[in-house]
Structures are given as structure tokens and as C-alpha cells.
């Protein structure tokens, strides 16, 4: 592991003096600019208490934490950075292989007349990310940064290309597979002089990505090189826009698909229209065997190469967001989503003095229209599927409506209703009652009330309810949050599973939080129970176990 003091000395020397390899012009320009250093710090820790009533896992160490600090230095066209991370030991719900301390992320880069080069670690995305999206989502424990080389070149006239090569991060190490890829994009309104003033805007893009991994399976002959490609476009005309991308992946036997030799493909389409006070978006996707990793034997969020978003609303209210969210099924699904947002005119009897905002969302996900093949002893294709054809089995359904209205200068109301269905034979969620089979149906209602007592004092109250005849039954949640601007806040929450069919599991989950904010510094302390559930971002989820205890979070930036 690279020692921190050595890296700091290296970066300081490099940014101050650089090297003749980069050219005298670049060095002369950089010498005129000051050396700037920025960064941020985050620590999240928890002291765990024993609580057998909620089946909280035991913690031998009692106190666990996740911590990191980023340091980024820039001087003219040059930039360098590192991230120090520490998990002693990692918080519950995260992969225990996040253990120890070190510098898993460091890089150096420079820009010179449209040419950008990065060596070390970097994040990157090709198109919509259906083939490549190297990114970090710290709350999910997901970090698939690439360690290698990235080159970007803006050729002018609307043409941009980039290439990458390297290995993905795997906790404090690197995965076994090697990624190599190239992506190109052309903005036709810049490339074609006759289109420069055209109101119709069109961008075209394409990429190729390959993965190399040694075949070490004693029972199967596995492809060591897996190639994939995609093409995309974005078209805009006045208030309309249309985006689409098609991706193809060569046969890639893996743990996810049961080591079959079937090719993968995906299609994403999104159309939208917007004007003042009104907007609509319609999206659809077809995913067939598109799990892509640089280690075919891994699972969950480890060493994922691509990103397949769930076409479902990312709810923020607790019961809707954590009890039964939906995660993308990379082995196969057909999904649809529609959003409509409009604002009722202010100073009318129906819109009120300040206007009223209404958001309507609906989504559904289905299995593939497929036919199973009995060929595991021969071709091992596994199945055939009709392109963009929903199967009979529905995985998830969500209809919700949200209404926001400001009644006066001190009072703002927000209400949400949601009707949902989740097929647990697919999502396989297991709560305090254990796993349940079949489909769960639920209704969720939320009333969010914000009262501004004066310019510095405000109180926000949330009343939430979930009603279901399956699994853990009915829930109620109450949240009261008081803010004294600009520094202090305190919040109390109680989740009550009053409708659980198992009487001993009709439990309260109280939790209180207290915090202080000053500038870029924020400190919060919480205490109480946390129920088990799922935490999802963009259709990627992490299982959160139940716990009881005290937590602390410290964040700062400079």
C-alpha cells in the first residue's frame, strides 16, 4: 500500500515542478497559477447494543465505523488526488471485506489543448452506462473505480473520444479482470456547418468495451475475452427530447446467469416534453442477460462494470423507500415508467395563492417473454427471449401521486399516496417475520407539514402509514424535526409495526437525532433502534440489518 507521506511529497513536487515530458508551454502556463488544495472528510460510526427483540446481529467490537478523506491538488492544467479510507471494522450491512485502512484511490492528470490524461484511479461512464459506469455510491458500499489509464480528446467540431484500460477496485485490492474500451461522440450541430443554427439538435455516440479474465473453471470452457458494444443518440427539438441506447454483450457465463453461454442485449428509450408549469417523461427498457462484471464469480454490487437503472421512482419517504423497494434484475426484465408534473396556476381557487404542484408517477416491471431450453449439457444457452416483449410474470408495480401546496408564508403541505405490488419470489426480501412467498400489495400515505415559526425556527412533521395484508402487515411512522437556523437541528422518529400478524413482532423503532452545522462542518448524533430493510439508489440496493445503539456522523470540506 502506498504510504501517505510519500504520495504527498510526490504530488507536491510534481505539481510544483512537473516534467519536460508535458511540454514547456503547459509548464509555463501552470507556473502562473497558484497551487490549490481542496478536500473533504467523513466519519460514520456506531456503538451497537444487544437487542434480541429486533434480531439485531451481535457486534463483538461494539463500535464500528466507516471513514474517509479526499485530498485534491490542482495547479494550472495539472491535478492530483488521493482518498484515505479506514474501516475498523466496517459498519453492519457493508461487506466485511472492507476491513483495515489505506489509500485505495489516487491519481494524477493533466489537460493540454483538449487532450486529458489520467493515470491511477478514475471514474468513467460510456453513454447511459449500460456497458460501463465506474462510479462510487458510498452509502451502498459500492466503488468500482478503475485503476489504469484514461485518455480523453476533444477534437473540436463536436467530436469527442475517450479510451480506458485497467482493473476495477475490489475493496483494498483489484479485481482479476481487465477492462479495455473506447467511446466516441459527435454533436452534429457543431460538426455540420449547415446545422449550426438548426433548432433540431442531434448527438450520436458509440462505444466498444472488452473484458479479459483468465479461465480457471475446471468444469467449463469459459471465454477469456468478452466483447460488447453499444450505439446511442439524443435528439432535441424545442421542448421535446428523445434518448435511446442499444447495447450488445457477447456470451459471458457467470454466477449471475448460472454460467450459460447466451449473449446479452439491452435497450433503453426515454422521451420527454417540458414547458413552464408542465413536464412529462416516458421511459422503457429491455434487459436480457446484461449482468457484466470483471469477475464472473462475484455477486451483489462487487466488481460491477455497468449500471442498469430501475425504472421506478426513487422514493425519499421512509416507508416507501426502505421496506419494499425494487432492484433491477440484470438477468432479464422489461420495464416502463411515466412521470407527469404540472403546476396549478397561483392566485386561483384551485391553485391557491402560491400555486400547487402535482406529480404523478407510474411504473411496472415484468419478466421476459422467454422459453426455457433443456440444453445445459450441450449449447448451454439456457433460454430464448422475444425482444422487448413483457412476460406474463409481473415483478413490480408502483402508482403514486404527490401534491405540494404552500398555504401561506408559514405553512407548507405535501401529501403522497402510493399503491404498490412487489413479487417477492423475485426480490426475495426477508424481514423480521422471515421470507414470504408470492406477491405483496400495499398502500402508503404520507402527510408532510412544514411550519416556519419565524426566519430562524421551523418544525417539520411527517405522518406515514403503510397498509398490507401480507408479510409484516401495517406500519405507522411519525417524524418531528425542529430546525434552528443556521446551526442546530433535532429530530425524533418512531416506526411502529402495529399490524404485524406475529404479536411479539409488533414493535416500536424509536430513533432520535441531534446535530450542529457551521459552514462546511456538520456533526450529528443519533440514538435508538433501526429496523431491517433495503437501502436503494438508482435500482442498486444494500441490505441493512436491524440495530440498536448510538451513531455519530462528522463531515467537513475545505
Grade residue 81 by pLDDT with cuts at 50, 70 and 90: very high
Q: Is the pLDDT of residue 2 over 80?
A: no
Evaluate whether 130 touches 247 at the Cβ level (below 8 Å): yes
H/E segment holding residue 12: helix 4-17
Q: Is the pLDDT of residue 83 over 70?
A: yes
Alpha helical stretches, state H, 177-317: 188-191
Q: Is the pLDDT of residue 30 over 70?
A: no
Neighbouring CB atoms inside 10 A of 224's CB total: 12
**Whole-Å CA distances, 86 to 41, 67, 68, 464:** 12, 5, 6, 37
Evaluate whether 471 touches 455 at the Cβ level (below 8 Å): no
Q: From CA 49, how far away is CA 56, in angstroms rounded?
A: 9
Average per-residue pLDDT for the chain = 93
Grade residue 27 by pLDDT with cuts at 50, 70 and 90: low
Burial 33-45 (b: 16+ CB within 10 A, else e): eeeeeeeebbbbb
Q: From CA 263, how far away is CA 324, in angstroms rounded?
A: 31
What 3-state DSSP class applies to 448? Answer: strand
* pTM listed for this prediction: 0.91
Please give the pLDDT value at position 526: 97
Q: From CA 90, how far away is CA 464, in angstroms rounded?
A: 31
Q: Quick one: DSSP state of residue 139?
A: G
Q: Is the pLDDT of residue 518 over 80?
A: yes
Give 307-356 pLDDT, tens digit per residue: 998 899 999 999 999 899 998 999 999 999 999 999 999 999 999 999 99
Range name among 26-35, 37-46, 379-388, 407-416 with the lowest pLDDT average:
26-35
Grid cell locating 191? 460538426
Amino acid at each position: 500500500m502506498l504510504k501517505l507521506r510519500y504520495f504527498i511529497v510526490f504530488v507536491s513536487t510534481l505539481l510544483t515542478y512537473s516534467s519536460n515530458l508535458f511540454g514547456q508551454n503547459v509548464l509555463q502556463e501552470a507556473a502562473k497559477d497558484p497551487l490549490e488544495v481542496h478536500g473533504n472528510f467523513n466519519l460514520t460510526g456506531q456503538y451497537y447494543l444487544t437487542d434480541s427483540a429486533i434480531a439485531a446481529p451481535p457486534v463483538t467490537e461494539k463500535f464500528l465505523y466507516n471513514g474517509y478523506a479526499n485530498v485534491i491538488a490542482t495547479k494550472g492544467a495539472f491535478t492530483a488526488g488521493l482518498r484515505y479510507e479506514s474501516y475498523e471494522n466496517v459498519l453492519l450491512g457493508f461487506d466485511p471485506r472492507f476491513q483495515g485502512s489505506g489509500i485505495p484511490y489516487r491519481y494524477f492528470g493533466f489537460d493540454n489543448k483538449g487532450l486529458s490524461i489520467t493515470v491511477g484511479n478514475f471514474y468513467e461512464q460510456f453513454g447511459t452506462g449500460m456497458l460501463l459506469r465506474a462510479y462510487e455510491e458510498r452509502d451502498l458500499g459500492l466503488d468500482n473505480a478503475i485503476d489504469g489509464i484514461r485518455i480523453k480528446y476533444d477534437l473540436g467540431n463536436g467530436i469527442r473520444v475517450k479510451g480506458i484500460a485497467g482493473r476495477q477496485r475490489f475493496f483494498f485490492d483489484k479485481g482479476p479482470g481487465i477492462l479495455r474500451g473506447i467511446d466516441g461522440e459527435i454533436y452534429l450541430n457543431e460538426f455540420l456547418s449547415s446545422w449550426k443554427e438548426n433548432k433540431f439538435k442531434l448527438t450520436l455516440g458509440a462505444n466498444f468495451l472488452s473484458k479479459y479474465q483468465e479461465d480457471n473453471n475446471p468444469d467449463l470452457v469459459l471465454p477469456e475475452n468478452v466483447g460488447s458494444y453499444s450505439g446511442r443518440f439524443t435528439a432535441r427539438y424545442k421542448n421535446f427530447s428523445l434518448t435511446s441506447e442499444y447495447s450488445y454483450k457477447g456470451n459471458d457465463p457467470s454466477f449471475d446467469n448460472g454460467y450459460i453461454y447466451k449473449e446479452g442485449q439491452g435497450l433503453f428509450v426515454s422521451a420527454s416534453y417540458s414547458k413552464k408549469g408542465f413536464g412529462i417523461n416516458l421511459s422503457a427498457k429491455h434487459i436480457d442477460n446484461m449482468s457484466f462484471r470483471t469477475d464472473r464469480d462475484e455477486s451483489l454490487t462487487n466488481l460491477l462494470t455497468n449500471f442498469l437503472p430501475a425504472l421506478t421512482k426513487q422514493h425519499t419517504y421512509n416507508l416507501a423507500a426502505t421496506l419494499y423497494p425494487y432492484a433491477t434484475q440484470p438477468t432479464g426484465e422489461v420495464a416502463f415508467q411515466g412521470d407527469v408534473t404540472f403546476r396549478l396556476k397561483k392566485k386561483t381557487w384551485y391553485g391557491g395563492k402560491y400555486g400547487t404542484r402535482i406529480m404523478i408517477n407510474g411504473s411496472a416491471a415484468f419478466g421476459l417473454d422467454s422459453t426455457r431450453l433443456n440444453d445445459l449439457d450441450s449449447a448451454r444457452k439456457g433460454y430464448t427471449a422475444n425482444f422487448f416483449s413483457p412476460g406474463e410474470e409481473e415483478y413490480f408495480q408502483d402508482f403514486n401521486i404527490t401534491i405540494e401546496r404552500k398555504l401561506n408564508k408559514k405553512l407548507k403541505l405535501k401529501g403522497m399516496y402510493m399503491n404498490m405490488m412487489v413479487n417477492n419470489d423475485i426480490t426475495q426480501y426477508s424481514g423480521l417475520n422471515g421470507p414470504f412467498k408470492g406477491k405483496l400489495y400495499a398502500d402508503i400515505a404520507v402527510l408532510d407539514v412544514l411550519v416556519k415559526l419565524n426566519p430562524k425556527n421551523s418544525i417539520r412533521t411527517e405522518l406515514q402509514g403503510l397498509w398490507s395484508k401480507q408479510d409484516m402487515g401495517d406500519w405507522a411512522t411519525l417524524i418531528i424535526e425542529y430546525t434552528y437556523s443556521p446551526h442546530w437541528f433535532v429530530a425524533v422518529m418512531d416506526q411502529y409495526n402495529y399490524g404485524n400478524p406475529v404479536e411479539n413482532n409488533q414493535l416500536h423503532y424509536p430513533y432520535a437525532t441531534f446535530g450542529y452545522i457551521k459552514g462546511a462542518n456538520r456533526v450529528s448524533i443519533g440514538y435508538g433502534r433501526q429496523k431491517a430493510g433495503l437501502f436503494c439508489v438508482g435500482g442498486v440496493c444494500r441490505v441493512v440489518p436491524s440495530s440498536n445503539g448510538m451513531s455519530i456522523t462528522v463531515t467537513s470540506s475545505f
